[in-house]
Structure formats: structure tokens, C-alpha cells
Amino acid sequence: MSINWFPGHMAKARREVEENLKKVDVVIEILDARIPDSSHNPMMDEITKHKPRVVVLNKVDMADPKATDRWLSKFRSKGKYPVALDGRHNQIIKKIEPLAVKATADDFNRMEEKGIRRRAIRAMIIGIPNVGKSTVINNIAKKKGAKTGNTPGVTKQQQWIKAGQQMELLDTPGILWPKFEDEATGKKLALTGAIKDTVVPLDEVAIFGMQYLLEWDPERFNAFYNISVSQDDDIVTVFDAIGKSRGMKASGNEINYEAVTNRVIHDIRNGKIGRYTFDKVDTQ
């Protein structure tokens, strides 16, 4: 589901998150491991204030493993508690819970010193749409297929889910808006499916993806489509090569550029060509 993030929606989303934050000890921020910076809500720090934060780099199965290691180090160096995982796999709570325990240790120790009896750690999940919030929540709750929805402001009865041995998780995630900072960020969000297809022109998204692969992994790109192109080729040549190779013709034997566009986006978005991380650590 796509949402147009008008200022009213943003204000509502922010209010909802702030309301729920009062109930929790720790925030579990879900990011897309392929775009850990672009999938981070720009006001996350301001909104969550000083709450301890576990950072989940989700969809790690589609990200470049070396880049993921670099991102994990970077988050650790900033005092966050990061973990990379595939939210569809069982047992993810075993990776998340120990980090939540570490992240909240100081707060709970202080409470104990004041004589407050230890209770379960309360957590909530926050992230922009389509990063895998529902997948992670349903997985922890052992529910199948319940989509938590991407629209802020749809109130429903909230419940606490037992999450591991020492934790309780709010079953409704906080949904924040994606970055609207610059064109490249928009294209990365579209390429990974974090924003759906109407926001950024699809041909531009496909071109961005092709150029990325031609720069970083030309051999695999060529092998995947059974073509022979390079970074120096005109982008139309690349479209033509893929169209010819895949038999994507429109009437009059012309290349069907729309079909090529959709195919390339689909292949990159779903990790068919390879595992890529589009946000580089060093440029942050």
C-alpha cells in the first residue's frame, strides 16, 4: 500500500509514535539492509529522543554481506545495538532480544536500585513502509500473513505480544515517512520497493539501477541478461540489449521499453541479479 505523505499524515504519524513511545523502554528500528541510510526516517532521532535503540537491518538476504558488516560496525560505533537478519526466518527473536536486554540494561539497573521490581522489557517496532515491520511482528507473534498496514491513524486495539523470555512487543508498529531529501534517495527507495511505483518515474528508477550495476557488478549484470554492455554505452543501448535478449518487443518489432523497465526493476528489487547495498557507508 502506498501513502502520500502530506504534512497532515506526517504530523499524525509522529503523534502516534510519540504516544506509543511513552509505553516502551526500547525502540526497534527496522531498516532495509540494502539502504540503511535512505530507509531511515530523517526525524527518527528527534522523535524517539533518548530511548535506547535496536537497529534491525532487515532483508539482509538481498544486501551485500560486506557492506552489511560495515553498516553494523558503523551503527555500533554510534552507540546503537544493530543486528542484520531476514525477517521471514523463524527465531529472529533470539537475535533481537539479547540486544534489547543490553540496550536497556542501564535503565533497568537504575530502576532496580530504586527498588522497582523488574518487569518485562517493553518494545515497539518503528520504520518506514515496506521495510518488513509486519513480517517481523508476525514472525515474533507466530501469526501468518496478518498485514499490520502502512497507514498511520488507523486506530486499532493494541496488544502486547510475548517476545522471547524477557520482552513484550507492541503488536502495532510505528509507521514513519521515508526521506524526501534528494533524487538519488527517492530512486533507491523505489528500487528496493520502499516507496511504490508512482512517486518516482519508473524509467528513471530502472536507469539508476542499471547504472549502479554497470558500475559495481557489470559482469554479473551482463551474464544475468545474456548481454554485453558497459558503463560507457548509451543507456538506450542497454535497454535495447536487454529487450532483444529477453524478446521484449512491441508492435513493429520495436523494443518494448516499458517491459524492460518493469523487468529490470523487478529483478533488482527482488534480489534476482545479486545482493546489493545501494547506500555506501563511507559517503555518509
Among 87, 164, 174, 209, binds ligand G4P (CB under 6 A): 87
Q: Is 133 in the site for ligand G4P (CB under 6 A)?
A: yes
Rounded distance, CA 178 to CA 84, Å? Answer: 20
Q: Is 171 helix (H, G, I), strand (E, B) or coil?
A: coil
Q: Is 62 in the site for ligand G4P (CB under 6 A)?
A: yes
Per-position b or e across 239-254, b if 16+ CB within 10 A of its CB: bbbbbeebebeeeeee
Binding segment for ligand G4P (CB under 6 A), chosen from 53-61, 66-74, 75-83, 108-116, is 53-61
Q: Is 58 in the site for ligand G4P (CB under 6 A)?
A: yes
Rounded distance, CA 222 to CA 69, Å? Answer: 27
Read off the amino acid at residue 254. Answer: E
Read off the amino acid at residue 22. Answer: K
Question: Which residues are paired to 80 by β-bridges?
Answer: none
Bridge-based pairing state of the strands 81-85 and 53-58: parallel
Binding segment for ligand G4P (CB under 6 A), chosen from 80-88, 106-114, 247-255, 257-265, is 80-88
Among 134, 185, 192, 261, binds ligand G4P (CB under 6 A): 134
Among 36, 52, 82, 127, binds ligand G4P (CB under 6 A): 127
Q: What's the min distance (Å) between Cβ of 253 and ligand G4P?
A: 33
Q: What's the min distance (Å) between Cβ of 113 and ligand G4P?
A: 37
Q: Is 3 in the site for ligand G4P (CB under 6 A)?
A: no
Of 226, 224, 233, nearest in space to 274 by CA:
224
Q: Is 192 in the site for ligand G4P (CB under 6 A)?
A: no
Rg for the chain (alpha carbons), in Å?
Answer: 21
Q: Which residues lie near ligand G4P (CB under 6 A)?
A: 58-59, 61-62, 86-88, 127, 129-135, 147-148, 150, 193
